[in-house]
Structure 1
Amino acid sequence: MVIFTSICANYLHKARTLAKSVKDNIKDSTFIVCLLETELKDNYNYEFFDEIILSKDCWEGNFERFIFKHTIVEASTSVKGQFFRFLYKKFPNENKFVYLDPDTYVYSDFYELKEILCDNPIVVCPHLLQPGNIDMELSSAAHGVFNLGFLAVNNSDNAKSFIDWWSERLYLFCYDEKEKGIFTDQKWIGLAPCFFDVYILKHRGYDFATWSLLDCGMEEINGEYFIKGDSLRFIHFSGYGKTIENCMKKWLPDGEHPFKKLYSEYSEIHDKNNYDAISKTKWSYDYFVSGEKILEKTRYEYRKNNELMFKIENPFEKSNSFIIENSILNNKQKLKEVLTKFIKKIWR
């Protein structure tokens, strides 16, 4: 089983925490980090990473032109589809591929998932498995029914067709634009069961997360953890910090609780793995070659203007003023062309 996560360097401490939990519990696993940085530095390596691969080194096409469109959160999700395609080529004899968000922690082997992937090409987990938490139901409607902190596929033609479709959508539209019906890579998967053979995994021990806390039924029995009878496989500590802590206060009973214990243990490991303050690392794709910081407005102007985008081979070699000014000029030229055509049509 090949397991990977996709991160920028400021999340390496989370990936370290995840990697060891994977290696401790899934003995036949290979753990790979997809890293969205311009270079690989010596301090990025870690004993439980089988390999770190720079996104640009496995990309099909112009990576700089593509990644410039995205904010840091969008970027780490935008490459996942293409990285699955890369892993298919790198591990042609492997039949089980799993993506996990870096803020997850594995507690036991994925016995059920391994069996499911023998006969099912694509496996996803819903955010919610029961009604009742209206806040999270609304959030799922906005962000996506299925949580893309987890995705598993096998090596079948159906799975590859799905990955190709998803990769193409992420290449064009992997933005945090909920007002347009898009939330990074996640909302697209709502369509996947309509197009492909998708297995919806409703085992409560997979992708247990912040949104699962209300009436979760978690219990500890002889040192093992269960959620309403299902063995705990992994927790997705999404919203680590204040968000999770507020949700625990809101949705868990007062006093001791198994999740509170696991969160405390995870926090200790998580913080220790930030021993070198790696979390403060600046994103290398957040700057032009000159050192000028890229403005969010610049990325937006760039990605909404296809003509400008394909005129520039490497946008990182330009500047904020160059891209914004040329975007405005392109828009004025388009407007002029439209008006000219309109006037000619009237005077025919």
Structure 2
Amino acid sequence: MKHYYCTTYSKDYIYKGLVLYNSLQKYDKDFHFFIICVQDEVKYLLEKMELSNVTLISMKNIENEDLELANIKSTRNDKEYIWTSKASIMLYLLNHFSELDHIIWLDGDTAFLSDTQPIFDEWGNYSVFLTEEQYKGKYEWLSKIYGVYNTGFMGFKRDQNALRCLQWFREKLIDWCFDKPEKGRWSDQMYVNDWVTRFGNVGVAGNLGINANLYIASQNTVTKEDDNLYINGDKLILFHYYGFKYFNGNEFDLCAHGHFPTDQIIQWLFVPYIQACNEVMDIISRIDKDFYYKQTPNGRTIKNYFNLASNIDRYEDRYNFCTIISEKDLSEGLDFYNSLTKHAEKNCLWICCLDDITYSTLANMELENVILIDIKNIEEQELLNIKNTRSASEYLWTLKAPLIYYILKNNYNIHYMIYADPDARFDSNVTNAFSKWKENPIFIWKNEIDQDNQREYGINLTSLIGFKREKDAFNFLWMWRDKCIKGCYD
């Protein structure tokens, strides 16, 4: 039995879409994939690839037959318009391709990880087939904002019940579909909440491995056996990488929506996906070298920063340091870098740049073994709320713990991080400092001043402080972060 799928490819999503296509090639023996090309340049590129088992259709074809859809296009951003177009696309395909006895919508940021057949086995005779968001317990309230079902996967049979559902869905989407919660609506998902009772013969997947995502994976038990992944014992079939952002082939935001992956999930689910994205990007660049330009992560908030080279091989067995530099600290920061280079043969220095001039200057210098972090990458709302209440030096002090935590959190092969102020200098081999650390989770230097000054300024210095990537260190690091955000003044 042939399986029929559809999705949209926009210029922003085409690399993800090709990863999805490659996963279908690997895990579905008999499929056909309908790709709706949002822009002409996407269609031209895909035509050059000569993909098998694929039909390419321009979004203009859909719009020419659905004038109501075309008329509201200017009122939606690109993401909202794609959500809005889902039902119109599936109705178009069912009208034009008589061989389709079913159609499955897949978001472009999904990918198959094992044989697709269990999806169809469970779907059975249902007219419509859905997957749940799985918001439960303390997260159940999210269903009232974002919906009970995830519309990154939806299956429709060619029958009267499913067609009536699609036509109703189309009308609702054209009327309102935006990326904001409003009057019990959000995107296309809240419309689906009552389909089980509204239309009847609607099936809901019991298998957690169909359209799983980082939230579902983080709330359940993920295991690996014989190269297969399981969620609570269900084989992982289709994973939804929503919120994944690709920057330059080495730096990524694993999930921009605030769900946090474990080390195992990063290694099992995200590293293979990243490598698949890089392979697709190489193919695209060989066909059209100007199709994508490398992006830098500066200027963006990145919730789950991941550096591929730091975790795979390039920076392994390095002495890991970080510092925070502003424009006025540039010369001091470069002196610190030079001292580190001189006294640590293997080193990696992470520099948090407090302004655009610092970032662009250091980026243009292309310093060896230096990774730049834009302050905007780590400035979540808690930091932004207090930023204007601190002087420049007070804000720098406040940033130390958030920076260390930010680097260590997802980068599983960085086993420790030492923060040093930009005016620090090494005058001998750095192993002398590391020899004092030994097995403790935290490395801290005593303040060599008299007791009266210690009472006023503290017992220990934070101009040189290190944390290992282990539970006790993270607990203290998070406590230090919270206390500094609440109050950190000169």
| TM-score when normalising by structure 2 | 0.52
Checking the alignment, whether the CA contact within 8 Å between 1:4 and 1:32 is kept in structure 2 is: yes
Q: Match for 1:232: what amino acid?
A: L
Match for residue 263 of structure 1? 270
Q: Aligned in 2, Cα 1:38/1:221: closer, same or farther, shift over 3 Å?
A: closer
Instruction: Provide Cα deviations, 1:154-196, integer angstroms capped at 9, x if missing partner.
Output: 1111111111110111121122231332222111111212211
Work out whether 1:44 is the aligned partner of 2:51. Answer: no
Checking the alignment, whether the CA contact within 8 Å between 1:30 and 1:50 is kept in structure 2 is: yes
How far off is 1:215 after superposition? 3.8
Instruction: Provide Cα deviations, 1:82-103, integer angstroms capped at 9, x if missing partner.
Output: 1111111233232231111111
How far off is 1:41 after superposition? 4.5
Match for residue 158 of structure 2? 155
Match for residue 185 of structure 2? 182
For 1:78 and 1:155, the matched residues in 2 are separated by: 21
Match for residue 125 of structure 2? 119
For 1:35 and 1:41, the matched residues in 2 are separated by: 6
Match for residue 281 of structure 2? 274
Query: RMSD over aligned Cα, in angstroms?
Result: 2.4
Q: Match for 2:255: what amino acid?
A: I
Match for residue 8 of structure 1? 10
Q: Match for 2:20: what amino acid?
A: L
How far off is 1:108 after superposition? 1.8
Match for residue 339 of structure 1? none
Match of 1:31 among 30, 33, 37: 33
How far off is 1:247 after superposition? 5.5
For 2:219 and 2:84, the matched residues in 1 are separated by: 34
For 2:38 and 2:207, the matched residues in 1 are separated by: 32
Work out whether 1:225 is the aligned partner of 2:229. Answer: yes
For 1:209 and 1:173, the matched residues in 2 are separated by: 26
Larger Rg: 2
Single out whichever of 176-185 and 65-74 deviates more from structure 2.
Answer: 176-185
Residue pairs, 1:219-258, within 5 angstroms: 219-241=223-245, 242=253, 244=255, 250=260, 252=262, 256-258=263-265
Q: Match for 2:270: what amino acid?
A: Y
Match of 1:77 among 76, 83, 101: 83
Work out whether 1:168 is the aligned partner of 2:179. Answer: no
For 2:30 and 2:87, the matched residues in 1 are separated by: 23
Checking the alignment, whether the CA contact within 8 Å between 1:124 and 1:147 is kept in structure 2 is: yes
Q: Aligned in 2, Cα 1:17/1:278: closer, same or farther, shift over 3 Å?
A: farther
For 1:246 and 1:193, the matched residues in 2 are separated by: 28
Q: Aligned in 2, Cα 1:64/1:244: closer, same or farther, shift over 3 Å?
A: closer
For 1:280 and 1:183, the matched residues in 2 are separated by: 32
Match for residue 110 of structure 2? 104
For 1:235 and 1:251, the matched residues in 2 are separated by: 14
Unaligned runs of at least 5 residues, structure 2: 246-252, 295-490
Q: Aligned in 2, Cα 1:115/1:180: closer, same or farther, shift over 3 Å?
A: same
Instruction: Provide Cα deviations, 1:240-280, integer angstroms capped at 9, x if missing partner.
Output: 143538857x463xxx5255322101011113322336456
Checking the alignment, whether the CA contact within 8 Å between 2:83 and 2:188 is kept in structure 1 is: yes
| TM-score when normalising by structure 1 | 0.72
Aligned residues: 274
User: Which has the larger strand fraction?
Assistant: 2
Q: Aligned in 2, Cα 1:7/1:183: closer, same or farther, shift over 3 Å?
A: farther
Q: Aligned in 2, Cα 1:40/1:237: closer, same or farther, shift over 3 Å?
A: closer
SS at match of 1:51: strand
Q: Aligned in 2, Cα 1:173/1:43: closer, same or farther, shift over 3 Å?
A: same
For 1:10 and 1:38, the matched residues in 2 are separated by: 13
Checking the alignment, whether the CA contact within 8 Å between 1:95 and 1:155 is kept in structure 2 is: yes
